[in-house]
Structure 1
Amino acid sequence: MLVVLAAGSAEAAGPRDGATPAVRTVAPGESVQAAVDAAAPGEVVELAAGTYRGSVLIAKDGITLRGPREGEAVIAPADPNDPAGAGACATGGFGVCVFGTAQKPVVGVGVESLTVTGFRKTGVKGLHADGLSVAGVRAHRNGEHGVGQEFSVRGRFVGNTTDSNGQSGVFVGDEPDGSGTSIVGNSAADNRIGVHLRRARHVTVTGNLLTANCAGVFVVGDETRPVAGDLDIVGNTMAANNRFCPGNERIAHIQGSGIVLTGTEGVRIHANTVMDHSGDSPMSGGIVMVPSFSGGGTSHQEVTGNTLLRNAPADLAQRDPRGVGNTYAANTCLKSEPADLCGPPAG
């Protein structure tokens, strides 16, 4: 079980009283991992412009790994024949790992202004992390997720660009006790899913631009208790997420989906713009609720004040027969399933 530290603990490892943190600089050809290992909590490891081969594991509190103020620092996989590229992060297929344990989460780590590309799995991954901040990162052509975290709390994913990753641009999963994580101002394009929330609660998804994925936002409840949900999807733009992604034994193919909810409760979807989606999947459409593979109903969602344009086969679709208590109000749209979900509530 994840040990959740007291509120504010994510800042405890950093410099106090407004002191400027110490900075360790790394140049191409030097070891990023060696610099991280030598850094003390509260220090910054700053990379000069260039390419750095090999994964990076951060397993201590309060470290910030960041790129240069000018130019681009790229973290890419090591030569598979290079022994220096070994280690748990590299062998797991990840780019930058922020890994604690269930008994001792790693606290207050930042990853900023880097490009992470070409890894077999996730570009930047938090596992048992508290207060992980990933900002201004480009995660490009990684085999699984661009950036994300699991079994973690209070993450911040802000202003990242995630494109052409095999699964999600931004992924947050396995946080059913409530994470307090925010996903703000990111762009995600040409992934399978733009923002993917799986078995998570108390997450905010705000002001993101999601386009040319198979689905913009996908929220999966499955069988967790408490039920996944009690989260906010507000003020995002989902446009033309019309890629085709094959299905598997658990889920049908995905295509033309703005926001998909399955097996969740109490999700608040407000003031989003969802437009130009089209497909022939059971999940195709603007904002869609579908049955969960595990059998739980998709219930008690609040869908209010959204603008939905040119989504097919429907702008709003409630397709889960087990779903109860879902409410719709003041949504601007033309077509819904059933037919009375657009506009103000009846009466």
Structure 2
Amino acid sequence: MTKWHIAHLACIAAVIGAGLGAAPPAVAHPQTHVVSPGESIQKAVDTARPGDTVRLTSGTFHESVTVSTPGLTLRGTGRGTVIRPAAKKAADSCAGSGNGICVVGTKDRNVEGVTVARLTVTGFAGSGVFAQSTDGLTVRHVTAVKNGVWGIAQERSVRGVFRHNAARDNGDAGLFLANTIKAEEGAADTGGTVVAHNRLEGNRIGLTVRRLRNLTVADNHLTGNCAGVFVVGDENKPRAGALTVSDNHIERNNKSCPKTARLDALQGTGIVLTGTEDTLVTRNRITENAGNSPLSGGIVVWKSFVGTTSERNRITDNVLEGNAPADIVNTDTAGQGNTFQGNSCAASVPAGLC
């Protein structure tokens, strides 16, 4: 063996040995940051890195919180972890808008994979939880009570999951999902957002879905609101719809709410479709929703408030009892392709839809 071969083999051995002996690169493991009443939630959130958990102990916290870190989990211990407004409103945009917890991305990039869980938000002038520009947000086991506008709200977001929440006695909707709140735009594709197993009670509207497509509303219990579910579209393109409302229990939404600048007085409304297309309403149990509003009834198909018809919606296999003025009300007789099949009900307007 030549000196060159010996030197070459020695060099290879040295490289292999160095590789075997080198320490592996450091891996950042998710951490849990524990926050107790009197300590700052926002400080812990700002310190946390993607994938971390900020865990709130039982007790009352007086502040608003903004989350923009991807993969962050903000979790309490249950209903005993309570977030209320601070005595002095902070200058940040979340508190300044009267909201409790804000999960916000940017105009150019959604914040991904955030979870808000197991806590109560109450007493905020705006929303208990407000999300904007999110992807894959999960809100679960959150109780949103007596907030001025919405209990839990989301806009400009995709692939959200809202499960096992309770929204009670909020000024507008218990749960509010929209393409955008302020601008006039066509319906947005949510990428399969899921709203399931929530209890929505005592709000103006239990659930509002406005100008959205491709989502599922299933297995929710809505009671004691002025109206149960509103699916809202208008003349913008694409149209709202291509979504499913199924297996919900919607009963006695007979609270009375006065007329507003955007909406007539509400009382006794189960499900309203207005200005929507290709929406499936199926296997819901809708009982004892009764009132004297133009929108009263079990399932109501209504021309949009700017005159756009509802088209190709399928109302099938629902059980409706004791709703007034009727179990099914179709005032949008100009709408094309709306079908009513297999529903168990006693009365409809016009007749013949049961």
How high is the TM-score relative to the length of structure 1?
0.90
* Larger radius of gyration between Structure 1 and Structure 2: 2
Instruction: Output aligned runs, 1:72-87, within 5 Å.
Output: 72-80=80-88, 85-87=90-92
The one of 97, 114, 120 aligned to 2:119: 114
How large is the RMSD of aligned CA atoms in angstroms? 1.4
What residue number does 1:50 align with? 59
SS in 2 for 1:244: coil
What residue number does 1:65 align with? 74
Kindly indicate whether the alpha-carbon contact (under 8 Å) linking 2:188 and 2:211 is maintained by their aligned counterparts in 1: no
Within 2, Cα distance between the matches of 1:20 and 1:68? 23
Runs of 4+ in 1 over 2 A off after TM superposition: 248-251
Once the two structures are superposed, residues 119-168 of structure 1 have per-residue CA deviations (whole angstroms, 9 ceiling, x without a partner) of 01110111011111000000000001111200111111100000000001
Within 2, Cα distance between the matches of 1:100 and 1:204? 23
Shift of 1:20: 7.7
SS in 2 for 1:37: helix
Within 1, Cα distance between the matches of 2:305 and 2:188? 21
Q: Does 1:170 align with 2:179?
A: no
Within 2, Cα distance between the matches of 1:119 and 1:204? 28
How high is the TM-score relative to the length of structure 2?
0.88
Shift of 1:47: 0.3
Shift of 1:242: 0.6
**Number of residue pairs the alignment of both structures matches:** 320
Residue identity in the other structure for 1:75: I
Shift of 1:281: 1.0
Shift of 1:177: 2.8
Once the two structures are superposed, residues 203-233 of structure 1 have per-residue CA deviations (whole angstroms, 9 ceiling, x without a partner) of 1100000000011101110232110000100
Within 2, Cα distance between the matches of 1:204 and 1:313? 28
What residue number does 1:288 align with? 300
Within 1, Cα distance between the matches of 2:263 and 2:220? 25
Within 2, Cα distance between the matches of 1:223 and 1:77? 38
Shift of 1:245: 1.2
Q: Does 1:216 align with 2:246?
A: no
Instruction: Output aligned runs, 1:84-95, within 5 Å.
Output: 85-95=90-100
Shift of 1:22: 1.8
Within 2, Cα distance between the matches of 1:137 and 1:177? 25
Shift of 1:186: 0.1
Shift of 1:322: 2.8
Within 1, Cα distance between the matches of 2:139 and 2:279? 24
Residue identity in the other structure for 2:56: L
Residue identity in the other structure for 2:327: D
Kindly indicate whether the alpha-carbon contact (under 8 Å) linking 1:147 and 1:170 is maintained by their aligned counterparts in 2: yes
For structure 2, list consecutive stretches of 5 or more residues without a partner in the other structure: 1-27, 181-186
What residue number does 1:265 align with? 277
Within 1, Cα distance between the matches of 2:334 and 2:177? 25
Kindly indicate whether the alpha-carbon contact (under 8 Å) linking 1:111 and 1:133 is maintained by their aligned counterparts in 2: yes
Within 1, Cα distance between the matches of 2:80 and 2:306? 44
The one of 200, 206, 213 aligned to 1:201: 213
What residue number does 1:325 align with? 337
Within 1, Cα distance between the matches of 2:87 and 2:188? 40
